[in-house]
Amino acid sequence: MVTKWLDERESRAWRGLRRMHADLSAHLARQLTEEFGLTEADYVVLVEVSEAPGRRIRSRDLGRALGWERSRLSHQIARMEARGSVRRARCDTDARGFDVLLTDEGVAAIEAAAPLHLAGVRHCFVDLLTAEQLDVLGDVADTVTDHLDTEHLGSAG
């Protein structure tokens, strides 16, 4: 098989995406940790559970939404449960499964952290781009994730 190397345009786009993601993630994660003692993983779990009906979500669905393997989710939920921000409960509709519920401490954590986090997302990302750039980036993200989902290559696939 012959390797098809990336040309200059392709390499710039690919490397730029990787660096942008790494730098943005590191900056935003550092803010969450310094200001609120939350990891990025804590924050995304809190967001997903807080947006679920009744602030309760099936663990399987949470893992899919985050693109995480079951073991990663299980360890993360155990850490958060030990700190009191979430709790696990038997699923009402399937005794084999568990739901993840947001506790009062979890609600307080997401309500405190979200404004600063969103301000950081706006300052370091959204406000730097035009409406057209945001649309193109959204379209690119949809194209790639749809392909990965179709090919069963996504992290939760």
Classify residue 87 as exposed, middle or buried by CB count within 10 Å of its CB (0-12, 13-18, 19+): middle
Q: Which CATH number fits domain 8-124: 3.40.50.300, 3.40.50.2020, 3.40.50.920, 1.10.10.10?
A: 1.10.10.10
Q: How far apart are CA 148 and CA 128, in angstroms?
A: 28
List pLDDT tens digits, range 101-157.
999 999 999 999 999 999 999 999 999 999 999 999 999 999 998 998 888 666 654
Average pLDDT over residues 7-14: 97
Angle at 66 between CA 10 and CA 124, to 5 degrees: 55
Dihedral pair phi/psi, residue 110, rounded to 5°: -70, -35
Domain positions in the chain: 8-124, 125-157
Q: Is the pLDDT of residue 2 over 90?
A: no
Tokens in use for 93?
Answer: 């509709």
pTM of this structure: 0.87
Q: What is the pLDDT of residue 39?
A: 97
Give SS3 for 94.
coil
